Structure 1
Amino acid sequence: MERCVISIRQWMKTNMLKLNDDNTEILIIRQKSAHQHLLPESVRIGNTNVTPNTHARNLGVTFDCNMSLERHVTNISRTAYYHLHSIGRIRRYLDQGHTKQLVHALVIFGWGAI
């Protein structure tokens, strides 16, 4: 795995990109029935030892080691509930049209639009 990371680092350097060692995460995707003891304890990336995680976030999506997306769905649901609850708290100050706009923005554009 370390040789693979070295190859990726070289490719990135050739393409004028940089691998940020401190923010690098390792996610080993496996079947649920796979044994935990087969996983490496850590992988050397540059000057940093990185241990495999059970989940990693990439481009806003949380992946887990079983590719079930369970954690991602939980995070999305929690965030959506939080924002719906917030809209409910200010509902009495809004007319129906503005409330409808807020809920529509939450559903269509996600929580970044609110």
Structure 2
Amino acid sequence: MTHKPIVNATRPGEYLAMFILRIPTMEGIGNAFVTCDAFSEYAIYTGVEKDQDTATVLRHIHLLTENEEFLKHRDKGFTLVLDEFEELSEKIKQIITPLRGKLLYDKVLHSRITRPVRESLSNL
């Protein structure tokens, strides 16, 4: 399936949108943390957790910044696009700013970036 460009992303890792996918597990519903790259539509999976409390969300942002695919492109900076967790803005910025990261809350853009991955997952 071909999609129109989401934003004027000119390279991988420029715009990244993290979302949480609720999935069934042997222990009940789990929260899978997934980040989508706007340029390549590549998905980075950082794990499944029972909850999505502050510590868990921040841990998965840290895990994203340590991911091999993320590390390939981080030297040029990036924008992390979220549609929730505004109350964690300052803590998130403490993680991403030293890595040349910016934080953007935009529900429409977030939806457009994550749509290809969400659609792919729904077709499994």
Greater C-alpha radius of gyration: 1
Normalising by the residue count of structure 1, what TM-score does the alignment of the two structures yield?
0.30
The answer to which structure has the higher strand fraction is 2
- Structure number with the bigger relative contact order (C-alpha 8 A, sep ≥ 6) is 2
The answer to which structure has the higher helix fraction is 1
Normalising by the residue count of structure 2, what TM-score does the alignment of the two structures yield?
0.28
